[in-house]
C-alpha cells in the first residue's frame, strides 16, 4: 500500500504543478493574446486531469488491471492514457472511486476524527469528463477547411476548471474496496506548495458512501 500511496501522491503533485504552469500561461496570454500560449495552457490542464485519473488507478490497481485484462481490444492497462476512458473503467471496478471533497477534521474524542462533506464548486466527475473531451480538439493544428474550434472562448473555462480542480484536491477522500483493504484514503493536497499527504482509514467490513 505504501508504494501505491506514493504513486497517488506523486500524480496529485504533478496535477497541481501542471495547474500552476497552466495559470502562468493563461496570465501570459491575457497580456500578449498569443494563441500558442493559450494552446499550451490547454495542453497542461488536460495533462493535469490525466494525472488525477492515473492517481485514481493506484488504490484500485489490482482490480483495474484485472478488469482491463479482460478487454477484447487493448487489454494492457499500462498503455492507458485517455483520462475519460480511465474514469469509465474505474467506475466499473469501484463506483465510489472518484475523489469526494471534505472539510477539515473535527475531534470526536481521543483518536477519533470526523470529516464533513463539502458541498461546493469542486470539480465533479461529469464536469471532469466533459471538459477533458472538450480540450482534445485544441491539441491539434487547425484544419484549414474546418470550422472555428472556439479556442478563445475556452479561456474563462480553463481558469474556472483550474480553481474547481484545486478545490477538489485540497482535501478529499477516495474510497477503496479491494480483497486486501477496505476503507478510505483522506488526502490533503494544499495549494501553497507543501507536498500532499495521506491519512488511511480502514473499515472493519463493507460500507456505504452517500
3-state SS assignment for residue 80: coil
pTM above 0.75, yes or no: yes
* Interacting residues of 178 by C-beta distance below 8 A, sequence separation 6+: 59, 60, 62, 63
Strand partners, 187: 172, 198
Banded pLDDT at 146 (limits 50, 70, 90): confident
Percent above pLDDT 70 for the chain: 100
Edge to edge, the sheet with strand 100-107 lists 113-117, 100-107, 171-177, 182-188, 197-202
Burial class of 168 by CB neighbour count within 10 A (0 to 12, 13 to 18, 19+): buried
* Interacting residues of 140 by C-beta distance below 8 A, sequence separation 6+: none
Q: What are 82-119's pLDDT values in tens digits?
A: 999 999 999 999 999 999 999 988 988 887 888 999 99
Q: Would you mind telling me the total number of residues written for the chain in this entry?
A: 210
Q: Are 57 and 196 in contact (CB under 8 A)?
A: no
Q: What are 29-55's pLDDT values in tens digits?
A: 999 999 999 999 999 999 999 999 999
**Cα radius of gyration rounded to whole Å, the chain:** 18
Q: What is the pLDDT of residue 150?
A: 79
* Joined grid coordinates for residue 172: 478529499
Spacing of C-alpha 137 from chain mean position = 20
Amino acid at each position: 500500500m505504501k508504494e501505491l500511496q506514493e504513486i497517488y501522491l506523486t500524480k496529485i503533485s504533478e496535477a497541481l504543478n501542471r495547474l500552476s504552469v497552466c495559470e502562468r500561461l493563461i496570465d501570459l496570454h491575457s497580456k500578449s493574446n498569443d494563441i500558442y500560449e493559450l494552446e499550451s495552457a490547454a495542453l497542461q490542464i488536460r495533462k493535469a486531469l490525466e494525472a488525477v485519473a492515473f492517481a485514481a488507478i493506484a488504490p484500485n490497481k489490482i482490480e483495474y488491471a484485472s478488469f482491463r485484462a479482460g478487454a477484447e481490444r487493448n487489454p494492457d492497462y499500462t498503455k492507458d492514457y485517455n483520462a475519460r476512458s480511465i474514469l469509465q473503467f474505474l467506475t466499473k471496478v469501484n463506483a465510489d472511486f472518484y475523489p469526494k471533497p471534505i472539510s477539515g477534521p473535527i475531534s470526536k474524542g481521543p483518536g477519533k476524527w470526523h470529516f464533513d462533506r463539502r458541498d461546493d464548486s469542486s470539480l465533479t466527475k461529469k464536469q471532469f469528463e466533459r471538459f477533458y473531451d472538450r480540450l482534445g480538439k485544441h491539441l491539434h493544428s487547425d484544419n484549414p477547411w474546418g470550422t472555428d474550434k472556439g479556442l478563445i472562448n475556452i479561456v474563462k473555462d480553463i481558469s474556472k476548471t483550474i480553481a474547481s480542480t484545486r478545490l477538489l484536491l485540497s482535501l478529499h477522500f477516495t474510497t477503496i474496496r479491494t480483497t486486501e483493504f477496505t476503507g478510505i484514503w483522506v488526502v490533503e493536497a494544499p495549494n501553497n506548495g507543501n507536498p500532499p499527504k495521506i491519512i488511511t482509514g480502514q473499515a472493519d467490513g463493507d460500507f456505504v458512501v452517500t
